[in-house]
Structure 1
């Protein structure tokens, strides 16, 4: 029975009836362990070696074994890749994927999705088996309730250096059936330009691009007056000292600590030492008043040396359009 103990240890104390039989247990021996409460049924034909609450990993193993051959999918696959504490999904049903040809009745607390690319999109050697990170990420973004939620999924993963836009684009090209396929391709192209958050993507697509503002450089490495290396969200103007402007995008709903605010002020002071002015924008300026923000930035850029002219987007209200006509 050493093989049984080793298997259960690898699977966080979870085992299926089929695995137990393969290790030499007879049905009556399995029944005796259940009767003695050495094993507790989790799903039909799947057991855990204690009677208390299950950990998330035990729930995940139980779902994979109950639906096997299967693997964790979607948000559950991301949770398995990233570890606890990031996704806040431990109380949600476990998501699993199965080969498209199979039809599986999902046990309680499990969501089953049939996957055409099961053989190439799943890493069976991992514990528990799960979809590859990039494929799972695209699945979660594709199923997001809103476009902003989908952007958040992608930007969070790329901004955290857990994947890249190039890798996700390659996975996207290999995945035929996605509801947001064309839209996701456009978002990933923007992320490849350096938009690393929902706010940064909103600024690019709601403020800068649709109003004809100059194209900024994103996530530019810079050295402040004290020699520290920092990254600027968006920098405009090239190398001419009179035409250099920084736009910092503050995605926090509030400053959680005095140290956060102090760090921002230091960054602004460092920029001033290199003859670069800084403006800070938040969600309101980008998502609620994007057109007015674009007009005000255009006037600022022109005052700094930009020779271009902004133009209205289809959503610009008449008052903003009139203001743009007066800029310059």
Structure 2
């Protein structure tokens, strides 16, 4: 190691440009051979800019998301990204990090610090930056949402994570089983079951629970592949024996003319290819009036051969 460290030293440039998005900690500079005078010189020359005690970046502008994550992890070191910051599919405004249960750190703006006794088994220290394994981060987020009373938010986070294909229902169940203590283990397990059945959103799960299951409708096939339009699409709920398709219609995916045209094109193609009737159900039809929605669907299914029996749910008038 050199006795003094220049900003352009290859080892420092490798760390800054290729490994840590332009962020470095004083401890790392010292490990490379820097003295206090070297660090002071780099700051004086505006090669490094302090952002937190003992943490520097290579510019004085706004930090991007990756840089904010590195700053938080290095300022709290040893630490790792966790919760929303380590769950696939989530992009939080705040940075979430986890440290050992026995430690305390200085508060930082827009950084949420969690504590855990399981860093050794749940953190991937070789990641850049270190992060909690995706499956454990996902369960942590789901638990936090449920603890706050936001069951829909918990399911939405779970659905987004699984849609990235970085976590799977099987490994989620294993993570749940290995935890000695959990918030609403039964609910989390039921959510994982619903994800595995193909209910890929809060609206789709609402339809599954409040309309289909609660009223004894036949069990639909979920996320069934179709090429009726000439390219691969997926049918949300298909009552194949009766030629009925149900599409939970969330606004996030249907607020543009292009999206509505694509839906209409698919509905028409399914009718032409399968002679299938497509029924679109909205948030209000599922969550505000599930009993009436189930009743109307039962009539449609009965006209196409379903003989029941359906049933009344506790909410039915």
Q: How does 1:254-293 map to 2 (within 5 A)?
A: 255-273=254-272, 274-293=274-293
Q: Does 1:4 align with 2:3?
A: no
Residue 12 of structure 1: CA displacement?
Answer: 1.8
Q: Which residue of 2 aligns with 1:322?
A: none
Residue 43 of structure 1: CA displacement?
Answer: 1.3
Query: Structure 1 residues 46 and 177 mapped into 2: Cα distance closer, same or farther (>3 Å)?
Result: farther
Q: Which residue of 1 aligns with 2:61?
A: 52
Query: Structure 1 residues 35 and 259 mapped into 2: Cα distance closer, same or farther (>3 Å)?
Result: closer
Residue 201 of structure 1: CA displacement?
Answer: 0.6
Once the two structures are superposed, residues 75-116 of structure 1 have per-residue CA deviations (whole angstroms, 9 ceiling, x without a partner) of 1223xx66xxx62x3xx3321111234333333432211122
Once the two structures are superposed, residues 189-213 of structure 1 have per-residue CA deviations (whole angstroms, 9 ceiling, x without a partner) of 0111111111111100111111111
192, 195, 209: which one aligns with 1:205: 209
Q: How does 1:147-226 map to 2 (within 5 A)?
A: 147-224=151-228
Q: Which residue of 2 aligns with 1:14?
A: 23
Residue 293 of structure 1: CA displacement?
Answer: 0.6
Q: Which residue of 1 aligns with 2:108?
A: 107
Distance of 1:160 and 1:110 partners within structure 2: 25
* Counterpart secondary structure, 1:106: coil
Residue 270 of structure 1: CA displacement?
Answer: 2.3
Q: Is this contact kept in 2: 1:66–1:107, CA < 8 A?
A: no
Distance of 1:249 and 1:230 partners within structure 2: 15
Q: Is this contact kept in 2: 1:234–1:248, CA < 8 A?
A: yes
> Structure 1: which 5+ runs fail to align?
319-328
Distance of 2:206 and 2:216 partners within structure 1: 15
Distance of 2:225 and 2:111 partners within structure 1: 45
Distance of 2:291 and 2:240 partners within structure 1: 21
TM-score computed with the length of structure 1 as normaliser: 0.85
Query: Structure 1 residues 17 and 117 mapped into 2: Cα distance closer, same or farther (>3 Å)?
Result: same
Return 68-77 or 45-54, whichever deviates more: 45-54
* Counterpart secondary structure, 1:179: coil
Q: Is this contact kept in 2: 1:67–1:106, CA < 8 A?
A: no
Residue 255 of structure 1: CA displacement?
Answer: 3.5
* Counterpart secondary structure, 2:86: helix
Distance of 2:85 and 2:186 partners within structure 1: 25
Residue 237 of structure 1: CA displacement?
Answer: 4.7
Residue 228 of structure 1: CA displacement?
Answer: 4.3
* Counterpart secondary structure, 2:207: helix
Q: Is this contact kept in 1: 2:211–2:291, CA < 8 A?
A: yes
* Counterpart secondary structure, 1:113: strand
* Counterpart secondary structure, 1:42: strand
* Counterpart secondary structure, 2:112: strand
Q: Does 1:230 align with 2:233?
A: yes
Distance of 1:227 and 1:135 partners within structure 2: 39
Once the two structures are superposed, residues 273-316 of structure 1 have per-residue CA deviations (whole angstroms, 9 ceiling, x without a partner) of 32222211111110111111111111222222111122221222
Residue 184 of structure 1: CA displacement?
Answer: 1.1
